[in-house]
Structure formats: C-alpha cells, structure tokens
Structure 1
Amino acid sequence: MQVQKLRLQHGWSQQQLAELSGLSVRTIQRIENGQTPSVESLKSLASVFEIDFSALSSETTMTASQTIDHDEQLALKRVRKLKGFYIHLFNYAIVMVALVVINLMTNPQTLWVVWPALGWGLGVLLHGARVFEWMPFFGAQWERKQVEKRLGRPL
C-alpha cells in the first residue's frame, strides 16, 4: 500500500506521521510524491503502520499514479481545491480585520477599508463559486463534455 493512502486511512496528518515514524515532514512529502525512500525510512514507516516491510517496499517501486485509482485522485484533487479556498478565506478574514483596525485607529472618519474588502471579497466569492461549482459554465460537467468532444466520443 502507498504511504499516503495508509496515512489517510489512519487519519494522520503528514506532521503526525513524521512524529510517529521519527522522519521529517519533508521526507514524508517526498515519499508521498513518488521519490524512492531509503530502506531505513521504509522500515520506520512499516513499523508505524504495523505492516510487513516487504509489503511496503514492493509498493514503493510503483509510481503514485499507479497505486491511487482514479476516484481517489479526483477526491484528492477536490480536497486540495477546498483547502486552497479555505486558506484564501482565512487570509482574507485576518487581513480585513487588521485593515479595519488600522483604518479605525488612523482615520475613523473615512472608511477606506471598504474598497479592499470589496475587491478582495469579490475574488474570494469567485474562488468559492469555482470550488463549490456554483457556476454551471466551466465546471466539471463542462470539462467532461469538452474531453469527450476532443476524443471524438459521443456526448
């Protein structure tokens, strides 16, 4: 089994796996991205996952795309998009709070903070619309139709 798949099955973050295995987070990232791990790293991971070393070492010879099936790839891609949106939203909230405080402390008569809030807020809204597929055009359904069209398959 692939390291990333095992880690997700256990519900661990990369940081948690790194702490349990004694490896660095960067090493875990490299292994999950398809880089061939050392024997020591494999032994450590096999110990943490409580599986046979040979089962883990034989799986690392395959590429990540071979071991993760199509549904898992789509789910992982979707989760990464969600994560990107939530990070964007969090950054927006933190920066806007800071700008409101700065605005109120320096010039409370003029609320200039409205303009960056509206501009960036529109960007966050469009990002959310794309991630949550609120817009029917250019969504997953549109992509599938375009792929089928390019491959010459009937729609």
Structure 2
Amino acid sequence: MTQAIDRVRQALLQAGHPDTIAMFAEGTHTAAEAAASVGCSIAQIAKSIIFRSGETPILVVASGVNRIDRAKVGAALGRKVERADPAWVEATTGFAVGGVAPVGHLAPALILIDEDLLALDPVWAAAGSPSHAFRTTPADLVRVTGGSVANVKA
C-alpha cells in the first residue's frame, strides 16, 4: 500500500501538483465514506472507476454522486468498454479497488473526466489506498491526468 501512495505522490509532484495527500483513519473506500472523512459533499469526491477495452485500462474519474454509463464511455472513446474485475484492476493499475487513484498507474490508461466535476472546487480523489485522498481542483485534475472531459453519467 505504501508503494501505491508513493506512486501517487510522485505522479502529482512530477506534474507540478502540490503533495496534498492526507490519511483519513475513518476510511475513504466509498464516495460517501470519503466525503464524511474529508468533510465535503459526496459530489466533490472524484471517484476513479476502471473499465477495460481488451487489455487497455479505461479510467473514468467521476463525481461521487454520479453513476457511470458504460455506453457513453465507449462512445466517447470509440471502442467497446467492459467491466473490469478487481484482480485485473489491481494487476493493471497497481491499486486495489477502493484506493484507485487518478494518477500513478502501473500501465497507461485512457482517461475520461466526468464533466460534472468541473463545477466543483475543491475535489478530493483517492491517493492509492482506501484511507488516503488528495485535494485538487477540477482544472488540475484534468491537467495531471491528461484526461478528456466527457458526459459519462447515467
């Protein structure tokens, strides 16, 4: 777990983002838990969901209140998108489900950012474990991930 958090920290710093990673003993495994722990609305949680297209990881960073429409994700990327099982997620990204960060992945991912996050500031994202998160702005989230903004909500 420490290696995963360190990868996130390094990715943030390499992108010119301050190290805003904090540990929350109450946990940040779900969007609701994360919001309660950090003291923000559930919408301000930038949850990272991994899908797959063949062996390519697809990362969708969405507002904590939104469900993701896989068909919209596939249309935005122009490819078939499937669910990814937790073992594949961890093997491919280096993060366990519940701690998947938007940066610091082992393998490059295709990344979409939920357009609803752009109206929220600040936002909080997982930082490599189910008890670590980092604070960022929507603009910085788009910048550090290199993701494309899209309508992905169901």
**TM-score, shorter chain, exceeding 0.5:** no
How does the TM-score come out when normalised to structure 2?
Answer: 0.19
Report 1 or 2 for greater relative contact order, CA contacts < 8 Å, sequence distance ≥ 6. 2
How does the TM-score come out when normalised to structure 1?
Answer: 0.19
Structure with a larger share of its residues in helix:
1
Structure with a larger share of its residues in strand:
2
Larger-gyration structure (1/2): 1
